[in-house]
Amino acid sequence: MINELNTELYHPGEWRWQEGDRTVTRTSQWTAPGCHNGCGILVYTEDGKFVKAEGDPLSGWQGRLCARCLDMQEAVNHSDRLKYPLLRDGERGENKWKRISWDEAVQWLKDAHQDVCEEIRTYPGGIGPEGFVSLTGTGRNTMWQVGMLTRAVFGSCNAGSGFLSGDSCYQSRMFSCMLKAGDCWIQDTACQFPDRYDNPKYRIPEVVVLWGHEPLASNGDLFGHWYIDLIRRGTKFITIDPALTWLASKSELHLRPRVGTDSALAMTMLNVIMSEELYDKDFVEKWSYGFDELKEAVAEWTPEKGEEVTWVPADLITSAARMYADANPGQISWGVTVDMHVDGTELCFAINDLVAMCGNLDTPGGNVLLRYAYNTSKKYGAGLEFLSKEILDRRIGIDRNPILASGFSQAISTDMIVEQLESADPYPILMTFCHGTNPLSCTGCDTTRIYNAMMKARYNVVYDVFMTPTAVAVADLVLPAAMSVERKSFRSWWQPLRSITQCCDRYYESKGDDELIWYLGKEFNPDFFNKFERLEDFLTWLIQDEGNGVDYTYDELTEKVYDYWDWNMEYKKYEKGMLRTDGKPGFVTATGKYEFLCPVLDVIGTYTMPVFIEPYESPVRTPELLEDYPLLLTTGHRAPWFFHSEHRQLKYMRQFMEYPDCDISKDAAEKYGIAEGDLIWIESPRGKCKQIARIAPGIQPQTVRIRHGWWFPEQEGAAPNFYGTFEANCNNLTTIGVMGRIGFAAPVKGGLCKIYKVTPDNDCLVGKIYKEEGGFGGEHQLYWRS
């Protein structure tokens, strides 16, 4: 029989068994190395050492694995991994370190923390721990972890992201969902069911709109290749992307908007659907609020005006709007791109409105409302109970960040962290803790500014799996992190609740993220953490969530491996009274309806409905820049073999890409005398980087698409080379301090640039510009709001 395997070899229902000398453990993989998926794997170990991972054919992932997991042995057993706590033994940037014990590291942290607290208390209103700021990376299973580390361990109110301007990764998407629908949705690929597409409740979407999303390479939340399953089952695709992706080439329609004009596109689509009455009248009538106001707000967005702004032909916009509205069900799958324009939040409003209006909210095959499995409250907000009202009032930016002040989000604006590092006003940030983030290679926008800002902190700690450019450049203490297969943890992110089981010995003296918090907690906050004799007890406390979560222990989860939460397997929960705590039908919003017009946003002080804001730098807003910077920049192009700035030291991944390449059109190549394979400078008003030119068929002609997250672990780590990370860094070109009106979203993907060949005359080591010249000399934006 074709593709028939012997299921018994995969031990149905068991979580651990022996195959000869090898122990096999059934669990899920979730960082490090990082990604967003959390796939089901079988981990083979021998004498406590990692041998290999095999996809678990009996899991919801059906045995499939991407190249990164298939090469996990290279990551786990890599000789360059951090083995011990390291204390800086030279100047920052010299890459000279002294091995210390964990006891010494803890004492160093205690001394630093005490110094921070004492100095902060000399400032008006100073309490102490607020001078400590933690920074977290994405996809590194640092959710409740960073909250607990910051609040429960160090007693600080300041937890932020790794300097990704506007916190423009998922904040706009989540915020828009929460405000308008009261819950978050994800694209329905049947991942909430153990039997997946075979579940009788599920329906295959007729149409999927990929909005700024290349799921095959970016694996946002879900296993991207599930879309291949849908294509096979008859789903048609619409791709909205300035570049031709593989999925775009298979799509019925491909819309290539001018970078940063997606809101205009979305509002034009809304207008077409509303004026042609293609929407779901039953849903709009029974379950929504503010439809007429929205209709009025988008009325000006005729397809002709849409074309003028977005450069997408009017008839193509109309066709896309009709095709999505006519689909039953239709689905929209959005990527991080939608967060990465100044009007990203408002774009997310518009996309939400498309979903809801067309009757695809919480319907089979549409966009389904999910909560973290078993609705555990221990997420980014974890540990708030450890903070006093007084210290919460000391959060960075509390006086000018309405989202924070309103209590909607506990995420500190990363742009405001940078500004306060620079200004020390109203108090200095004396200590940073990078928890699984490498901002100088990856998320840190306007990176020279980040570098200079971080150098101002008295103490910088980096906790990671490898020595990174950020650690070399700014860290004083480096702590070794364990990898997923060495950790005890869990994942409740959507569905199912799943175990992350320790399968092999931890590498040398590394500690898992969860273990680190439990371990440091006993030192810094013994009253609380001494309740947990074992790490497993602490994890049980987290999954039980004080009566709100599961009713079993972490050890039992280890044996269950997966636990699919019933609640997540229901559709139209708003009809069934499943969303609201009062048990009434409706949504968790002020009106109880889906809100096309969201009055709460008016109270917060921002737009209540979708709006298009011309990009911060664009041919329309800043025509004066066009002479020098005639092309449109988009950053963050992904490849399937790397997760953000990770995996660069793995030769089995680098075999597919040695050096980052950027996509330019044939027109641009001819105009600027660039040939395929040339090393080129890409330059914006703030800085420049080098990548290899690829002439990309099908890209919007003025667009330059460049990669992110690159460094070269094989190169010299010490200054001024810094593992070469600043040479190819797309964030030399981006901004810090340019934000959407509520503080979320920033032009990470939008901007103007020019391109020209690297020649012996103009070549230079960019790291020297960082180390010796203090930056590129361009002007930094201090504070700009849409």
Partner 1 sequence: MVSVASTNFTGEANTMGLLIDYEYCTGCYACIVACQRELELDPKTYGIKVHGYGPVEVGDDKWEWSYLPMPTSRCDLCAERTAEGRLPSCVHHCPANVMYYGTLEELSKKLAEKSTQVLYSL
Q: How far is the CB of 28 from partner 1 (least distance, A)?
A: 16
Q: Tell me whether residue 1 or residue 760 sits nearer to partner 1 (CB atom).
A: 1
Query: Locate tokens 């977290």: which residue?
Result: 136
Q: How far is the CB of 555 from partner 1 (least distance, A)?
A: 30
Going from the C-alpha of 593 to that of each of 178, 205, 353, the distances in angstroms are 12, 25, 13
Question: Which segment (243-251, 286-294, 354-362, 438-446) binds partner 1 by CB under 8 A?
Answer: 243-251
Q: Tell me whether residue 237 or residue 770 sits nearer to partner 1 (CB atom).
A: 237
Q: Tell me whether residue 54 or residue 393 sits nearer to partner 1 (CB atom).
A: 54
Query: Locate tokens 């980040």: which residue?
Result: 450
**Close Cβ partners of 312 (under 8 Å, ≥ 6 residues apart):** 255, 256, 257, 265, 306
Q: CA neighbours within 13 Å on the CB side: how many for 19? A: 12
Give the one residue of 36, 254, 644, 707 binding partner 1; rule: CB under 8 A. Answer: 254
CA distance 223 to 217: 10
486 backbone dihedrals φ, ψ, rounded to 5°: -105, 0
* E-assigned strand segments in 582-671: 594-595, 631-637, 661-664
Q: Mask of contacts with partner 1, 48-87, x by CB under 8 A?
A: ----x-xx-x----xxxxxx--xx-x--------------
Q: Tell me whether residue 62 or residue 591 sits nearer to partner 1 (CB atom).
A: 62
Q: How far is the CB of 318 from partner 1 (least distance, A)?
A: 16
459 in Cβ contact with 431 (< 8 Å) = yes
Q: How far is the CB of 313 from partner 1 (least distance, A)?
A: 10
Q: How far is the CB of 697 from partner 1 (least distance, A)?
A: 5
CA distance 751 to 633: 5
Task: Give the dihedral sign, CA 641/644/648/650.
Answer: negative
Give the one residue of 2, 12, 581, 623 binding partner 1; rule: CB under 8 A. Answer: 2
**Close Cβ partners of 558 (under 8 Å, ≥ 6 residues apart):** 15, 27, 499, 501
Query: Locate tokens 């809100």: which residue?
Result: 595
CA distance 625 to 349: 30
Q: How far is the CB of 7 from partner 1 (least distance, A)?
A: 9
- DSSP characters for 674-721? --TT-EEEEE-SS-EEEEEEEE-TTS-TTEEEEE-S---TTS--STTT
Q: Tell me whether residue 244 or residue 267 sits nearer to partner 1 (CB atom).
A: 244
575 makes contact with partner 1 (CB under 8 A): no
77 in Cβ contact with 89 (< 8 Å) = no
**Which H/E stretch holds residue 568?**
none
Q: What does the DSSP 8-state code read for residue 494?
A: S
CB atoms within 10 A of CB 541: 17
Q: Which of residues 8-47 bind partner 1 (CB under 8 A)?
A: 8-9
β-strand partners of 532: none
**Close Cβ partners of 49 (under 8 Å, ≥ 6 residues apart):** 77, 504, 505
229 makes contact with partner 1 (CB under 8 A): yes
β-strand partners of 785: 739
Q: Tell me whether residue 378 or residue 648 sits nearer to partner 1 (CB atom).
A: 648
Q: Mask of contacts with partner 1, 759-778, x by CB under 8 A?
A: --------------------
Give the one residue of 329, 615, 640, 747 binding partner 1; rule: CB under 8 A. Answer: 640
641 makes contact with partner 1 (CB under 8 A): yes
* Of residues 199, 196, 252, 184, the one with CA closest to residue 225: 196
Q: How far is the CB of 652 from partner 1 (least distance, A)?
A: 5
Question: Which segment (6-14, 395-403, 405-413, 563-571) binds partner 1 by CB under 8 A?
Answer: 6-14
Q: Tell me whether residue 239 or residue 331 sits nearer to partner 1 (CB atom).
A: 239
* Two tokens, residue 506: 């931890």
Give the one residue of 426, 698, 720, 775 binding partner 1; rule: CB under 8 A. Answer: 698
Q: Tell me whether residue 254 or residue 394 sits nearer to partner 1 (CB atom).
A: 254
Q: How far is the CB of 653 from partner 1 (least distance, A)?
A: 8
Q: How far is the CB of 229 from partner 1 (least distance, A)?
A: 7
Give the one residue of 3, 18, 122, 581 binding partner 1; rule: CB under 8 A. Answer: 3
710 in Cβ contact with 658 (< 8 Å) = no
Q: Tell me whether residue 63 or residue 126 sits nearer to partner 1 (CB atom).
A: 63
531 makes contact with partner 1 (CB under 8 A): no
β-strand partners of 632: 703, 752
Q: What does the DSSP 8-state code read for residue 367?
A: E
Site residue total, partner 1 (CB under 8 A): 44
Q: Tell me whether residue 669 or residue 745 sits nearer to partner 1 (CB atom).
A: 669
Q: Tell me whether residue 5 or residue 782 sits nearer to partner 1 (CB atom).
A: 5
Q: How far is the CB of 264 from partner 1 (least distance, A)?
A: 21
* Of residues 334, 371, 617, 385, the one with CA closest to residue 492: 371
**Close Cβ partners of 454 (under 8 Å, ≥ 6 residues apart):** 421, 432, 439, 440, 460, 470, 473, 474
Q: How far is the CB of 634 from partner 1 (least distance, A)?
A: 18
CA distance 315 to 306: 10
Question: Which segment (1-9, 152-160, 275-283, 426-434) binds partner 1 by CB under 8 A?
Answer: 1-9
CB burial string 449-461: b at 16+ within 10 A, e below: bbbbbbebbebbb
455 makes contact with partner 1 (CB under 8 A): no
Q: Which of residues 169-228 bind partner 1 (CB under 8 A)?
A: 216, 223-225, 228
CA distance 45 to 22: 6
Q: What does the DSSP 8-state code read for residue 150?
A: I
Q: Determine the Cα angle at 440 with ends 131 and 476, to 5°.
A: 50
Q: How far is the CB of 10 from partner 1 (least distance, A)?
A: 9
Q: Tell me whether residue 508 or residue 656 sits nearer to partner 1 (CB atom).
A: 656
Q: How far is the CB of 561 from partner 1 (least distance, A)?
A: 19
Q: Tell me whether residue 91 or residue 676 sits nearer to partner 1 (CB atom).
A: 676
Give the one residue of 96, 233, 246, 379 binding partner 1; rule: CB under 8 A. Answer: 246
Q: Tell me whether residue 36 or residue 180 sits nearer to partner 1 (CB atom).
A: 36
Q: Tell me whether residue 99 or residue 232 sits nearer to partner 1 (CB atom).
A: 232
Residue 465 is which amino acid? V
Separation of CA 361 from chain center = 23
Q: Which of residues 648-667 bind partner 1 (CB under 8 A)?
A: 651-652, 654-656
Give the one residue of 244, 332, 357, 450 binding partner 1; rule: CB under 8 A. Answer: 244
Question: Which segment (244-252, 402-410, 475-483, 728-736) binds partner 1 by CB under 8 A?
Answer: 244-252
Q: How far is the CB of 261 from partner 1 (least distance, A)?
A: 19
Q: Tell me whether residue 227 or residue 722 sits nearer to partner 1 (CB atom).
A: 227
Q: Tell me whether residue 247 or residue 284 sits nearer to partner 1 (CB atom).
A: 247
Query: Locate tokens 């997991």: which residue?
Result: 69
Q: Peptide bond preceding 32: is omega within 30 degrees of 0, i.e. cis?
A: yes
- How many residues would you count in the chain? 786
204 in Cβ contact with 365 (< 8 Å) = yes
Q: How far is the CB of 231 from partner 1 (least distance, A)?
A: 7
Residues that bind partner 1 (CB under 8 A): 1-6, 8-9, 52, 54-55, 57, 62-67, 70-71, 73, 216, 223-225, 228-229, 231-232, 244, 246, 248-250, 254, 640-641, 651-652, 654-656, 697-698
